[in-house]
Amino acid sequence: MGNKGERTQTRMVESMLELIQTQGYTGAGLNAVTEHARVPKGSIYFHFPGGKATLGARAVELAAQQLSDQLAEAMANAESPRDVVESMVTALIEMLVESDYRLGCPVSVVTLDASERSEVLRTACAVAFDSWITTLADYLETQRHPRPQAWAMATTIVTSLEGTVILCRAHRSVEALRDTAAVLGSILDHASSQTEALR
């Protein structure tokens, strides 16, 4: 798994990501990161000369990759676009319940908490959201949806789920995610039936 320096960087990025999820970007102080990652305090600026913003951007990139991997698995096992959404929602429900509603999407957290103060963070968040939308849009194209429609539906899926997770944390209930899954599933089923009718 790489050399010692790479392993140290990985631990710090993983710690930053976990702290962002539980404490927000502002609450994820550098001292907390080094303590959580069990590394010397000077390690942050040695490995991340740009400081907290650079480390935060790397954490956002890691979060983006983790969800992209989940999406890839969901799409590989799906029989329909509805299955992909239901798989994503199941994973989100598990995350919320198992964390007692403490964990949410770290990309949303950073976007709301710090992106206005750092172009590095804003860009990392934008790239993360775009990567998920693109992945979903590409999949929907394989299901014979035209590119404009696929992109619009993918954007709707990502934005709906992101917003619903926030609502679920506020209410400490996952019912909104189940409702969102049902509505998105109906929209996708309808779009798929229209696409089949035009073939």
Residue 51 resides in a domain: no
Q: Which of 188, 13, 148, 174 is nearest to 92 (CA)?
A: 174
Check: CB of residue 140 under 8 Å from CB of residue 150: yes
**Full domain range(s) for residue 188:** 59-198
Q: What is the pTM of this model?
A: 0.88
Is 189 a member of any domain?
yes
Structural domain contains residue 11: no
What would the two tokens of residue 57 be?
């951007």
The CATH number assigned to the domain holding 150 equals 1.10.357.10
Query: Is residue 195 classed exposed, middle or buried when 0-12, 13-18 and 19+ CB atoms within 10 A define those classes?
Result: middle
The span from the CA of 42 to the CA of 139, in Å, is 44
Structural domain includes residue 179: yes
pLDDT of residue 1: 44
What count of other Cβ atoms lies within 10 Å of the Cβ of residue 51? 13
Q: What is the mean pLDDT of the chain?
A: 91
The torsion region of residue 103 among left (phi > 0), alpha (psi -120 to 50) and beta comes to beta
Report yes or no on 13 lying in a domain.
no
| Position 196 pLDDT exceeds 70 | no
- pLDDT, tens digit (0-9, with 9 covering 90-100), for 128-182: 999 999 999 999 999 989 999 999 999 999 999 999 999 999 999 999 999 999 9
Q: Quick one: pLDDT band at residue 25, thresholds 50, 70, 90?
A: very high
The pLDDT of residue 15 is above 70:
yes
Query: Which pLDDT score is estimated for 117?
Result: 83
Are the beta carbons of 180 and 160 closer than 8 angstroms?
A: yes
pLDDT in tens, 78-104: 999 999 999 999 999 999 999 999 988
